[in-house]
Structures are given as structure tokens and as C-alpha cells.
Amino acid sequence: MYNIGKQMTKILVSLMSATILLLSTGCNADMFNFFKSKKFQYILSSEITGRLYLDGKAFTSEVVYLHTAFSKNRYITETITSENGYFHFEPTYHYQTFKEPALHESSSYIGIYIFVDGKKYYLLEARFSDVKPYEFISDNLLDLSCEINSDEYRYFFKNKFVENGLDLEIISRCDLKGFSEKILLNKDT
């Protein structure tokens, strides 16, 4: 009987010690990020501001959509144009607890579009292989001027990442800057 009581005491002391150890570690876990998993932040879209026109006049009170994607993750947000046709989107972020594989194995996408009389009009589309938009994309997103009834163009930008690499491309009906070549998008090809 005495041995059973002694064993029970040892078990209780062990359990209490373990409990105190876990609780004290848990209280300090935030301080040392012990239990927190690291989050990786990916910038899917920088801030976007622009103005929308229809036949040269400000296109007001219309919904503009922003579709961003990274790997298998998709986000769609919307905003409404002001009385002067202005629209604005805050940056879009994606967080995940694991790091993506090497660059160029995951692609990102930015698409800005609007519906007019049930027809979808893309204002801008860009694809890139990085964890944030390339600088030339972000620079253009800060001051877009888009005519809905204009033609779509393929805008080419010098590839600063790969020597003698293919130029990088944005498809848009907005006026862009910093491009090396602008070609009318032929819907038949």
C-alpha cells in the first residue's frame, strides 16, 4: 500500500512538473515565437489607381473588378468608379505558412475588368513569375487611364532579369508607359 502511494506521488509530481513546464513555455511562446509558424507574404498586386472612360467621357458609378492569383490561390475584389470615373484598389496580399518553390515555378496574375451591357472588357492583364509584381507593372498600376471602347494592345517591356531574355508583356486597353514596343492585339491569333 505504501509503494502504491509513493508511485502515485511520483506520477503526480511528474505530471505537475510537466504541466508547469508546458504552461511556462506557452506563456513565453509569443515572446520567442515558439509555437508560431512563419508566414510568407506575397504581394499579388500593388496599389492601383486609374480613371475609366467610355467614348471619351468619365464612366461613373460602375463596378470595376480586380482578379489576382498566385499559384492555386484566387482573389476577386471590386470597387465602384467615382463621379469622375476614378477607381482605386488597395494592395492585395497572400499569406501562407510554407515558402513557394524556386522562382519561376509559380506564376502570378493581375486582371482588371468591367462588364458593360453584359460583355466583359479587360482593362489590363499581366502575368509574372515572382512573389510581387515587377516594377514596371506596379509603376503603371499607379496611374491608369483606360478607354473601354479602345483597342487592346500587347505592351512589351525590356527584360531586366534575364540577359537576352524574352521581353515581358502586359495586355491592356489602358495607356501604359515605359514599354519598348506596342502591338495591336489581334483577336484572331
Three-class secondary structure assignment of the chain? CHHHHHHHHHHHHHHHHHHHHHHHHHHHHHHHCCCCCCCEEEEEECCEEEEEEECCEECCCCEEEEEEEECCEEEEEEEECCCCCEEEECCEEEEECCCCCCCCCCCEEEEEEEEECCEEEEEEEEEECCCCCCHHHHHHHCCEEEECCCCCEEEEECCCCCCCCCCEEEEECECCCCCCEEEECCCCC
Banded pLDDT at 33 (limits 50, 70, 90): low
The answer to the question of residue 138 being in a domain is: yes
Answer whether 0.85 is exceeded by the pTM.
Answer: no
Asked, for residue 174, whether it belongs to a domain, the answer is no
Q: Evaluate whether residue 114 is within a structural domain.
A: yes
Question: Looking at the domain assignment, is residue 26 inside a domain?
Answer: no
Task: Determine what percent of the chain is predicted with pLDDT higher than 90.
Answer: 56
pLDDT at 77 over 60: yes
- State the average pLDDT for the chain: 84
Q: Work out the number of other CB atoms within 10 angstroms of the CB of residue 118.
A: 5
Query: For residue 104, what is the domain's CATH number?
Result: 2.60.40.1120
Identify the burial level of 139 via C-beta atoms within 10 angstroms of its C-beta, where 0-12 means exposed, 13-18 middle and 19 or more buried: middle
pLDDT given for residue 98 in this prediction: 75
Domain assignment present for 105:
yes
State the residue range of the domain holding 59: 40-150
Q: Please check whether residue 14 lies inside any domain of the structure.
A: no
pLDDT of residue 27: 47
Answer yes or no: is 13 within a domain.
Answer: no
Number of domains the chain is built from: 1
Tell me how far apart the alpha carbons of residues 63 and 79 are, in angstroms, rounded to a whole number.
Answer: 6
